[in-house]
Amino acid sequence: MRTTRSRELAATRERIWEVVGDPYHEPRWWPRVQRVERVSKHGWTSVMTSPRGNAVRSDWTIEDERRPEHR
């Protein structure tokens, strides 16, 4: 599965990557993410809240990364 989003921001690509490239910052910018667990160079787990208030876990695996372009 591949997802692409775009938006114009008044910041350098490197500065943006500092935020979106660090899983610990996810709760700041990804809706419903409450916390992030088990972060490693191979992936992490995002703990989110569903619309019904239930905890939902999403495990992410990094397959490819070219900073600061994509992951």
pLDDT recorded at residue 13:
86
Instruction: Look at residue 43 and give its three-state secondary structure.
Output: strand
Sheet with 33-40: list strands edge to edge: 33-40, 43-49, 55-61
pLDDT recorded at residue 46:
96
What does the DSSP 8-state code read for residue 28?
Answer: H
Whether this prediction's pTM lies above 0.75 is answered by no
Encode the chain (71 residues) as per-residue pLDDT tens digits.
788 888 788 999 888 888 888 999 999 988 899 999 999 999 999 999 999 999 999 999 999 888 877 77
Write down the domain spans for the chain: 13-61
